[in-house]
Structure 1
Amino acid sequence: MDLYTNLRKGEKGAWISIGAYIFLSSIKLTFGFLGSSEALKADGFNNLTDILASIAVLVGLRISQKPPDENHHYGHLRAETIASLLASFIMAVIGLQVLTNAFRSIFEPIAEAPSLITAWIAFFSAIIMYGVYRYNLKLSQEIKSSAVRAAAYDNRSDALVSVGAGIGIFGAVFGAPILDIITAFIIGLIIIKTALDIFKESVMTLTDGFDEDEVETLSVLVRRVPGVITLRDFKGRNHGNVMFIDLTVSVAPHLNVIESHWITEEIEKKIQKVKPNCVILVHIEPDSSFSMDEADD
């Protein structure tokens, strides 16, 4: 299954997330206002940000499927990252709004405890989101998509947030109304933290940052390829779900073109075995320290 087929399949997970978030945010905000629950309203606003994030993933997946053209020689795979960056700003704004509302509620008289039904709505939402999480996790493993996997983990954290909201509401119903406001405040912090995590990851990708652990792991594989004397240079960058790697290795100077090409193919096989969505460019250089006596041996 090729990359673009995987991107199309990944859209299904984004659509399911969008549908679930629209449904759950609607009932949470409705019952949150009717049932006087700050925690459930905050959870509903959290799901609104998730709708935007899922739409960003969907749009990114759709644009990423466009093939390379004269202005985009590497394709449009970074469209997904740009959309995620924009979504992080929107999430941060909504998170700050939730925090502001919760903070104001602390200094306002509590008219009544939230309705018990709002707690059950929160737990019901947690069950729904856990099911979406399991589906997207399985899909991400099937198509090897980091974007869908990230969406799955977002689904899981949303399920946990709903469980926390339900617990906070129960505490408020049974004699501690301040717990409902505290839970709303915590949910606001979770929204902002998620926005910051997405922002940092997006900036890392857009500025051609590359994980040092990945460099070390893949460098070990390259050095173990027969014929490679020295790994002189290793550069990596990510475009969406595709990893681009540029390598410079030194080999024995007496090798012919066919033998050198065999080494490059072995390097590509080793790396693509652990990183299937990877484009590798290997530059071969003769090793000046390699003597002809060693070649004769």
Structure 2
Amino acid sequence: MNNSQYKKAERGAWLSISAYIILSGVKIFVSYIGNSEALRADGLNNLTDIIASVAVLIGLKISQKPPDENHRYGHSRAETIASLVAAFIMISVGIQVIIGSVQSVLNPSETSPSIITAFVALFSALFMYGVYLFNVKLARKINSKSLYSAAQDNRSDALVSIGAMIGIIGAYFGIGWLDPLAAFIVGFMICKTAWGIFRDAALDLTDAFEVEKLKDIEETIRSTPGVKLVKDIKARLHGNQPIVDATIFVEPTLTVIEGHQIAEHVEERLSETHQINHSHIHIEPQLH
């Protein structure tokens, strides 16, 4: 991403942080006056989400730093590390929600919460889903993995609030088992989302790359005029930036300038067709 895109991603992270600060304060306050453990747990969940959003913001800040002596490719992978942090926090929250649902079954509450706490949970769910829609659209537009992870966290929080609302309504009308059931399902969904984010980030950090996408890149190089053969093609992601290394074979009678022009044409096609702006093309003569 360029600096303008990073600034847009930062606005998404700041939106998440602001939403979590406001909602956590409202939920915790209303939970005490409305006697709702579910809403209180939801508010505490939002407090932990502030940490995840701050981690994303820090990752975006670091990613903007230019290349230096120790980071010749730049600092884009800070975004991937921020995604990992967000995934760890999400899965810890998901496990806590699941454990809390089991404890609710073993130790059912005899107190009935105020119905106002259900409305607060519903408002929070709708508000966070709106934040999710904004951030996920922005993340896809600027291709920011860390902001996409934050958006998934926003959606998980909306689901947690829905679960809290269902539990509160169930407890209000004397259907106590709705609370732990909804909490368990929500906790499972949070863990599933966190696992997906962790898996993608881990694959990026271990230089994995989609096989089908690599085949498309190879075909683009092979179809470039002047390229006779493509050999030893590799690709990896540095943050959200793909880096391609390939060896191409050309006619051995070409001059150095002509061979260099073919390599430049390959790089131009990779940029236009696949948005790959970092490629290393090595030229070899094709010996018959």
Q: AA paired with 1:61?
A: L
Unaligned runs of 5+ in 1: 290-297
Q: Secondary structure at the match of 2:207?
A: coil
Which residue of structure 1 aligns with residue 263 of structure 2? 264
Unaligned runs of 5+ in 2: none
Once the two structures are superposed, the pairs formed by residues 6-155 of structure 1 within 5 Å of their partners are 6-155=5-154
**In 2, Cα distance between equivalents of 1:274 and 1:120:** 49
TM-score w.r.t. the length of structure 1 is 0.85
Q: AA paired with 1:185?
A: F
Which residue of structure 1 aligns with residue 287 of structure 2? 288
Deviations 1:138-194 (A, max 9, x none): 433543433323433433343344334434433443342111122222232233333
- Pair 269,37 (structure 1): closer, same or farther in 2 beyond 3 Å: farther
Which residue of structure 2 aligns with residue 229 of structure 1? 228
CA contact (8 A) 1:37 1:180 kept: no
Report the RMSD for the aligned CA atoms in angstroms.
Answer: 2.5
Deviations 1:220-245 (A, max 9, x none): 22222222222212211112121111
- Pair 133,261 (structure 1): closer, same or farther in 2 beyond 3 Å: same
Which residue of structure 2 aligns with residue 186 of structure 1? 185
**In 2, Cα distance between equivalents of 1:118 and 1:202:** 37
- Pair 254,174 (structure 1): closer, same or farther in 2 beyond 3 Å: farther
**In 1, Cα distance between equivalents of 2:229 and 2:276:** 25
Q: Larger deviation: 126-135 or 146-155?
A: 146-155
Q: Larger deviation: 253-262 or 13-22?
A: 253-262
- Pair 234,272 (structure 1): closer, same or farther in 2 beyond 3 Å: same
Q: Secondary structure at the match of 2:71?
A: coil
Q: AA paired with 1:119?
A: A
**In 2, Cα distance between equivalents of 1:184 and 1:34:** 22
**In 2, Cα distance between equivalents of 1:164 and 1:104:** 16
CA contact (8 A) 2:163 2:179 kept: no
Q: Larger deviation: 125-134 or 161-170?
A: 161-170
Identity rate of aligned residues, in percent?
Answer: 50
CA contact (8 A) 2:251 2:285 kept: yes
TM-score w.r.t. the length of structure 2 is 0.87
- Pair 282,164 (structure 1): closer, same or farther in 2 beyond 3 Å: same
Q: AA paired with 1:128?
A: F
**In 2, Cα distance between equivalents of 1:56 and 1:231:** 41
**In 2, Cα distance between equivalents of 1:123 and 1:18:** 19
CA contact (8 A) 1:40 1:184 kept: no
